[in-house]
Structure 1
Amino acid sequence: MASRDLVTGKIFSLQTIVGILGNFSVLYFYLFLHYTRCKLRSTDCNLKNLTVANLLVIFSKGVPKMMAGFGLKDFINDFGCKFFFYVHRVGRDVSIGTTCLLSVFQAIAISPLNSRWAELKVKAHKYIATSNIFCWILNMMLNIILPLYVTDKRNNTNFTQKTDYGYCYVMEDGTVTMKIYAALILCRDGFSLVLIVSASSFTVFILHRHKQQVRYIHRNNLSPRSSPESTATQSILVLLCTFVSLWTLSSIFLICLTVLNNLSLWLRNTSALINACFPTVSPYILINYDSRVPRVCFA
């Protein structure tokens, strides 16, 4: 086994272990709050959904990449290839959709009561669970054709174009179906990104205006400590900024993988590594900003 493959396996192993530990910790945290009947925030449902999607991405991409890096090239059969690619795509898309929902619901939650969103603010929490379920169903249906274009490396059929992911092949026949599928994915991702940036900008504007309005409180030597709502909003803003940055970098690599031919395995591995960065990093952002975590850990 080449030393380069060994290094790749170690890197994906480290990322997978760190991501699994972080997301399982956050999942335990929310399950603890649920079973102890603690008061939950309106965004906790979205964050639980995001954690599950993150785990799917890490398991379906990190584990196969890790095993392929350690020299196990043909350890997945045809069904396994189709399953792993489908689960990864659904998990990734649900992660994007949930992040979009999270930013929109957070913007609605902190909007002033006298704004045009006042009526929607009262009813928004009733649609959070329904929106998450719809997000799962939509992305499962949208990616249903993906397994048709994935096969294992033991398949001896000659394909006109195929991409080697180290443990599976992805066929690229350039049919109208694949073009429509790629267009739908691109439009969905672009629309989600616009919503995330717009909702986040609105949230920053509201927070800044609120800070200007209550500045006199700090001049009276009252406690400058942020409220739980403000801290939760800050954590979500950090989460969204991290997501947008990594999503942009991932999209650049995706364009390179789509446009260029005869790409090296290093470039594909780097793209996979960046794709899994947000699922790996996001739970630690949530743990760092949520003041309820120490009490749960102590309990």
Structure 2
Amino acid sequence: MSFFDLKIAAIYIFQIVLGTLGNLSLLIHYICLHCRGDREQSTDLILRHLTVANFLVILSIGIPQTMAAFGLNDFLKDFECNLVLYVHRVARGVSISSTCLLNVFQAITISPRDLRCANLKLTVPKYIGPSTLLFWALHMLINVIFPIYGSSKRNNKTTSNQNKLGYCSLSLNDNIKFSLFTALISSHDVVCLGLMSWASGSMVFILYRHKQRVRHIYRSHVSHRSSPETKASQSILVLVSTFVLCYALSSITYTYLAFFGNPSLWLLNASPFITRCFPTISPFIFISSDPRNLKNTFGPVSLLEK
């Protein structure tokens, strides 16, 4: 085992431990809020599903990739390889969809109180539960191609391309179908990235207008602290920047790996690390931005609803 492999394994282990602790802290955070008797918010359900998806994203590929970094190459059999990829792709899709839904819901929540938005604010929370379940069902259905590939490989005697992933090799029996599947997944990522960018931009714009309207209040209370709107805008920008950067790079690397069976070593190691970045970092962002914390950053939501 080379020193480079040892460094890669150490980085993977650090990321897995940090991501596991972060998501576990988020779950404990909600348990403490429930024990404290705080009123449950509509976004809590989205975040619970998001936390489960993040756990699966971190562990499903993180553990096999770490073992591969320690020198255990191609230790997963065909069915196990496809099952791991299936769980990972489902969890990754749910993580992206849930984060997008969370941001869109927050944008609707702080939107101005006109008649159309008022009706939307009343109806949207009713569909959060069904939407989160739909995400799981939809991505389980779309990504069923991986178990199918696993079974078809055993029954197909023709020569197939091998996409080497380190811990296993994925058999590509039909490049055309797999290319269409990759395009479908990439289009889903692009749509979610676009919706989240739009929702985040809308929230920042609404918070800026609200800050302009209440500027005289802040002038009458001289303080060196940032306004709640500024803190909220910063939190939104941190979240969306992390999301867009991580998943945009992840989509690019996955597309490249799907079409090129023998990628370079650094790309093979960087791809799973990039994919796990947002599930690792996001729990700390969500905890710090929860309005039920001592110094919340989403305080303007409550201000706008008064």
TM-score when scaled to structure 2?
0.85
Give the length in aligned residue pairs: 293
Contact 2:29 2:287 in 1 (8 A): no
Q: Which residue is 1:257 aligned to?
A: 257
Q: Which residue is 1:284 aligned to?
A: 284
Is 1:98 equivalent to 2:98 in the alignment? yes
Deviations 1:24-50 (A, max 9, x none): 111111133234432123322212221
How does 1:112-261 map onto structure 2 within 5 Å?
A: 112-114=112-114, 116-150=116-150, 159-221=159-221, 235-260=235-260
Deviations 1:200-244 (A, max 9, x none): 111111111111111110111177878989866753442222101
How does 1:2-13 map onto structure 2 within 5 Å?
A: 2-13=2-13
Cα distance in 2 for partners of 1:216, 1:188 equals: 44
Task: Extract unaligned runs of 5+ from structure 2.
Answer: 152-156, 296-306
Contact 1:15 1:280 in 2 (8 A): yes
* Deviation of 1:149 (Å): 2.8
**Alignment RMSD:** 2.9
Q: Which residue is 2:304 aligned to?
A: none
Q: Which residue is 1:154 aligned to?
A: none
Cα distance in 1 for partners of 2:41, 2:144 equals: 34
* Deviation of 1:167 (Å): 1.0
Contact 2:12 2:273 in 1 (8 A): yes
Cα distance in 2 for partners of 1:41, 1:229 equals: 20
| Alignment-mate amino acid for residue 160 of structure 1 | S
Deviations 1:171-227 (A, max 9, x none): 223344323322321222222122111111111111111111111101111778789
| Alignment-mate amino acid for residue 251 of structure 1 | S
Deviations 1:99-121 (A, max 9, x none): 11011101110011115322101
Q: Any idea what SS the aligned residue of 1:43 has?
A: helix
| Alignment-mate amino acid for residue 93 of structure 2 | D
Is 1:111 equivalent to 2:111 in the alignment? yes
Range with greater deviation from structure 2 (275-284 or 187-196): 187-196
* Deviation of 1:288 (Å): 2.9
TM-score when scaled to structure 1?
0.87
Contact 1:166 1:265 in 2 (8 A): no
Q: Any idea what SS the aligned residue of 1:170 has?
A: strand
